[in-house]
Amino acid sequence: MTRRFDDLADAVLAGTPAAAEDALDVLRTTDDELLDVVAAAARLRRKHFGNTVKVNYLVNLKSGLCPEDCHYCSQRLGSQADILKYTWLKPDEAIEQAAAGLRGGATRICMVSSGRGPTDRDVERVAGMVGALKQEHPDVEVCACLGLLKDGQAERLRAAGVDAYNHNINTAESHHDDIVTSHTYADRVDTVTKAKEAGLSPCSGLIAGLGETDEQLVEALFALRDLGSDSIPVNFLMPFDGTPLEGTWDLTPGRCLRILAMARIVCPDKEIRIAGGREMHLRSLQGLALHVANSIFLGDYLTSEGQAAEADLELIRDNGFVVLGADEDASVPTDGAATTHDPAKRRRGAGTELPANA
Ligand code: SF4
């Protein structure tokens, strides 16, 4: 066991921000040191978020048909990915979808639409949906994610009751133009800044696995720290067939865990959300990752399916956490009754005609 990550956690807890070399060190740990990194990051997580997990739910208001060319995105211009494509949901459909997420245990609803950015009419449409949603569910926290914002749109969303605005920087400035050419890194930063200045909580994160270097991952995290992003979704590339990044498999579960730990150490008091690609890339390390990150999406993503929502809640409970904002009794059954079931009897392999489970 090495003490250096424990010492790093001590320093961060004492108020000394992590330096870029510390972040690189975390990314480059050996497997022998991985649990030390997790333990150090977990101390910061516990200090700022205790045993809570924030549960977010995505509603894709408008899917596919985007004119932009983000290489990682299944909704991009020219994408051959076989995804759902539809134009704006009707307000009652959007509210019904959001209500399903709330019933499932989410406290934040993320209302997302594909596209370069909203028209003023689109902003009014979303403002109406948010108003209606908040009337039915006054405690819900709403994050809008509608693309690049024009002057005045963030203020309109804030006035309508939107709490947060998501616009990911996605990757380092030095890597941005390799993954998208139809808008600039500065455009993205401008939207995050507009949201923040309008009083919306800025939510901006990244996608790992886009062919970036370790240094570029660190660059992106420090940029998010400087931008003051309150919540940082960390996505892991899901390389859809039919997109330019089809077949890009650069991530391992351990790598994902290190990236999350690095994010926690660089931004100790910010919401670190395990976002798209959680199941695909963290796989059996999802539970360990919760000791570092403090937020997840429940259920499905924008264009891909996640694991069953009940499995997400079980993941939280099994690792000793509670859903932020949930009734604690409902969140953590004391007798485990909600998750126990009779063992499934073996009916294959030895003693049967059916192939073994191997
Ligand atoms: S990430 Fe957003 S802007 Fe880029 S292609 Fe996808 S939907 Fe369009």
**59-73, 235-249, 262-276, 330-344: lowest mean pLDDT where?**
330-344
Q: pTM of the entire structure?
A: 0.94
Nearest CA to 213 out of 183, 244, 255, 242 is that of: 255
Instruction: State whether the beta carbon of 210 lies less than 6 angstroms from ligand 1.
Output: no
129: tokens are: 């949906």
What's the confidence (pLDDT) of residue 8? 97
d(CA 82, CA 241): 8
Strands 295-297 and 322-323, bridge-based pairing = unpaired
What's the confidence (pLDDT) of residue 67? 94
d(CA 209, CA 19): 22
* Mean pLDDT in residue range 155-179: 98
* Mean pLDDT in residue range 177-200: 97
Sign of dihedral through CA atoms 285, 286, 290, 292? positive
Q: 203-237, pLDDT tens digit by residue?
A: 999 999 999 999 999 999 999 999 999 999 999 99
Counting ligand 1 atoms within 8 A of each CB, the residue from 65, 88, 114 with the most, and so the one to mutate, is 114
Strands 206-208 and 231-236, bridge-based pairing = parallel
* Mean pLDDT in residue range 105-131: 96
pLDDT above 90 (res 349): no
CA of 148 to the centre of ligand 1 (A): 10
For the chain, the structural domain boundaries read: 4-326
In 10 A of CB 344, how many CB atoms? Answer: 6
What's the confidence (pLDDT) of residue 145? 98
Instruction: State whether the beta carbon of 73 lies less than 6 angstroms from ligand 1.
Output: yes
**What is the percent of the chain where pLDDT is above 70?**
95
CATH superfamily of 4-326: Aldolase class I (3.20.20.70)
Instruction: State whether the beta carbon of 66 lies less than 6 angstroms from ligand 1.
Output: yes
CA of 73 to the centre of ligand 1 (A): 6
